Amino acid sequence: MQFGLIEMWQAMGAVAKTVAIILIGLSIITIYMFIERLLVFSRAKKTSRAVAPRLAELLKSGNLKDALSLATKKENKGSHLARVAAGGIQAILEGKEAHLSMEEQIETATRGAERAKTLFNQELRRGLSVMATIATSAPFIGLFGTIFGIINAFRGMQLTGSGGIGAVAGGISEALVTTAVGIGVAVLALWVYNTLNSRIEIFDAEMANTESQVVDFFMKSGEAR
């Protein structure tokens, strides 16, 4: 007698089937969010590569208003470099209008760029808390189904009055299936979380570098005076 996935599914109880469906749903959510985040990251890199040279030229020429206009364009909203630069430029222009001293303008620009960096970092991390939750909870969800599988195994023994493998096969199979699926979903979610988190750290480093370059430009060019 064959006892494949179809036979195991048929032998599973309602609770175990519900647990399996939940775990499959969580795996689909994980894959969807992974692809969605990769598209966001790719768009940020592509846009930043296109806007960074033009933005650098405007800053070198001292045309801060045009640089701010470029950095805040709708099509450049997804660029992490443009967002950080815009935060610093906006702050320095407001500092000049308020007639702040050079040191105060530099501090204002630093805080403005830092705020933009923090906000974009939060956007990049959107969904990562869900991944962490799935990674930590999936094994326990699978264990919940395992408990009911073992209960069904003992129930089979009780109904047949036998301790043979045929009496407990159905319950043991659903116990193993839910456990395996739970661990598999957890591993997938953890891998996705770590992969995305490592890429976000690269974005953070690039934004910190941009923040430093923008502030250094103001200090060297004398635009903060």
Q: Please check the confidence at residue 1 and state whether its pLDDT lies above 50.
A: no
The two counts, helices (H) then strands (E), for the chain are: 7, 0
User: What per-residue confidence (pLDDT) applies to 104?
Assistant: 84
pLDDT of residue 125: 93
Alpha-carbon gap, residue 50 to 44, rounded angstroms:
10
- 165-183 residue pLDDT tens: 555 555 566 677 888 889 9
CA 145 to chain centre: 28
**Domain range for 48:** 5-221
State pLDDT tens for residues 53-83.
Answer: 888 888 887 788 888 898 888 888 888 899 9
**How would residue 150 be classed by pLDDT, with cut points 50, 70 and 90?**
confident
% of the chain at pLDDT higher than 70? 82
Report how far residue 43's alpha carbon sits from residue 205's, in angstroms, rounded to the nearest whole number.
Answer: 17
Per-residue pLDDT at 224: 42
Q: Looking at residues 185-194, what average pLDDT do you find?
A: 95
Domain count, the chain: 1
What is the pLDDT, as a whole number, of residue 200? 94
Global confidence as pTM: 0.80
Instruction: Give, as one character, the DSSP assignment of residue 164.
Output: S
Largest distance between two CA atoms of the chain:
92
The residue-averaged pLDDT of 159-164 equals 56
Distance CA 35, CA 37 (A): 6
Q: What is the pLDDT of residues 79-134, one digit of tens each?
A: 889 999 999 888 888 888 887 777 888 888 889 999 999 999 999 999 999 999 99
Kindly give, in sequence order, each residue whose CB lies less than 8 Å from that of residue 187, ignoring residues fewer than 6 positions away: none
pLDDT tens-digit readout, 8-48: 666 667 777 888 899 999 999 999 999 999 999 999 999 99
Q: What is the pLDDT of residue 225?
A: 47
Average pLDDT over residues 192-206: 94
